[in-house]
Structures are given as structure tokens and as C-alpha cells.
Amino acid sequence: MELHPLKVFVTVAQEKSFSRAAEKLLRTQPAISLSIQRLEDEVGEKLFDRSAKDLQLTAAGRVAFDYARRFETLQGDLENALAELRDKSAGRLIIGANESSTLYLLDRVEQYRQRFPKVKVQVQRSQSSRIPAQLLDGELELGVITYDPEDTRLLSRVLYTDHLAFIVSPQHRLSARKTVPITDLGSETFIAHNVVSPYRGSVIRAFQNHKVPLNIHLEMPTIEAIRKMVERGQGVAFLPRMCVEHEIRHGLLREVKVKELELERQIRLVYPARRALSHAAQAFLELVPGVT
């Protein structure tokens, strides 16, 4: 059922006259009469009692009038919602990120929420390796990853350059050192993230190439857990620098440079190349410029 005939119907019911409704809607009276006749044919009921001096609604007409008013309200709500979306002030935005990349997003999401408080933002924790497929399948609008997806169906923008930090507790024997060679780490107990990543592979290969034992005696499911274990002196770890900045700044952890392991991590914002982004996603792109 189209909305325009319902608007005509509501106007005729309110004015109780075909001619007055025609004047209000800037239509001819025959056009108004034809619209009502078609609506009555569609619903299979007479909506007006035309025998009275002023048009009166039939029982079916009163039911139809109630629902037609609801349609009008819904149409107004729809128009308002679309207007808000065009103004980038409402809607929903789903961003996929792994645990460490989510930390990068905190300040950006806060800025975004300040500018667009009506947008519902959902940062969905995803495995970095799965995010490109989720973007292409439409499960996500934006993704944050630490590698180039190398897929022509996706666009990516470098947002931030981070590095892997070798961290120890303030009481550790190496805590006063600024740099150490990798050969000094063969006796250390390492705490590792149990999620496979390119950077974990790079660390393992570096130890193998220098023929240094890499003693991973403890694996944890979250970066927060690794951080806490290192603070308590249970071992050492390689973690993204942005994940431990607060702890290093406040003396809870120490960062020591490892000469043979200077691994940079590029944080990339990824999005589909061929699918139009929502106004909410486009606004996020405009808020978060790439690295020049």
C-alpha cells in the first residue's frame, strides 16, 4: 500500500470534504475522488459514508484512519532518521579490531562520540586475520589491522606507527639497561600471547637466527594478563608499545631496547573499495586522517 493515497485519505477524513481536501493538497477534486476510490478498491471496504451532508467515516474507515495516522508518524520518523544520517549525527558504526588495535581506537572513538553522540558505535573484537573477509562480507564497515591486506577489493590507510616493546618489571636485572643484545635473553622466561600473529613469528625467527633459546613458559589469552604477570616479576614479554605506554610512564614497567629486534607495527584502517560507506563510517574516516 502506497503512502500517498493514505495521506489523501487522512486529509479527506479531517476536512470531511473532497473539495476542501483538494484545496489543501493542491489537487483537483476528481483526482482526490479517484484516489479514495482506488484505496477503497484496494482494501475492499467503503471508507466514507457519502449520504450525509459532511463525509463521515464508516466503521472500516475509522480503523483505516487510525492505522493511516500511524503510517504518517512512521513516515515522519523515517524522514527524520534519514536526515540525521545525512547529517552524520545518527546511525550505527561497527568497527572490527583485535585486542591491541582496540587500544588505539579509544581516543578516536571518544572524539567521534563527542561530535556524533547519537551514533551507536560498536567495536567488535575480531581476529586480525579474519577482518578483511568480514569487511567483504558486510559484517563490518571498518576494520583496524596491523598489516597490509594486499587485496584490491579493500582500501587501507596507515593511521599510526607503533613498535614491539621488550618489557620487564622495575625489579628485573635488566630494568636499568637502555639496550641489550638478544644473546642476553636466552635465560629469560617469556610470557607470550596465545594468538598467532606476524610479529610473534618475527620474534621467534630472530631468536632462531641468532641461535638464542626462546623460553616461552607461559602463554596468556589477553595482553592485560601478560602485562600484569610481567609487573609481578613472573617473566618478560614483547608487547605493542601503545599497550604499555601508561605502565612505562608511571614506572610500573620498564622498556629495554633489543638491538636485533626493532619491529615496527603499522596500524591500518581498512574498508571496502567498492561498497558505499554509511554516513557514520564516512564521518569516522574524515575524523581519523592517515599518516602522511
pLDDT per residue as tens digits for the range 198-211: 788 889 999 999 99
Angle subtended by helix axes 29-43 and 3-15, to nearest 10: 110
Q: What's the pLDDT tens digit per position in 43-57?
A: 899 999 888 777 889
Look at residue 270 in the predicted model and tell me its pLDDT: 95
Look at residue 211 in the predicted model and tell me its pLDDT: 96
Domains in the chain and their CATH numbers?
3-86 (1.10.10.10), 90-159+267-287 (3.40.190.10), 161-265 (3.40.190.290)
Helix (H) or strand (E) holding 249: helix 245-249
The beta strand positions in the chain, using DSSP E, are 48-49, 56-57, 90-97, 118-125, 142-145, 154-168, 179-180, 189-193, 215-220, 237-240, 254-255, 257-258, 264-272
Q: What's the pLDDT tens digit per position in 63-118?
A: 989 888 888 777 776 776 676 667 666 678 899 998 888 877 888 899 999 988 88
pTM to 2 decimal places = 0.62
> What number of residues does the chain have?
292
DSSP percent split of the chain into helix, strand, coil, nearest 5: 45, 25, 30
Look at residue 5 in the predicted model and tell me its pLDDT: 84
Among 137, 118, 117, residue whose Cα is nearest residue 126: 137
Count other Cβ atoms within 10 Å, centred on residue 90.
19
Q: Which residues of the chain have pLDDT under 50?
A: 1-2, 292
Look at residue 292 in the predicted model and tell me its pLDDT: 41
DSSP-assigned states of every residue in 182-218: GGGGTTPEEEEESS--HHHHHHHHHHHHTT---EEEE
Look at residue 2 in the predicted model and tell me its pLDDT: 46
Q: To the nearest whole percent, how much of the chain has pLDDT over 70? A: 94
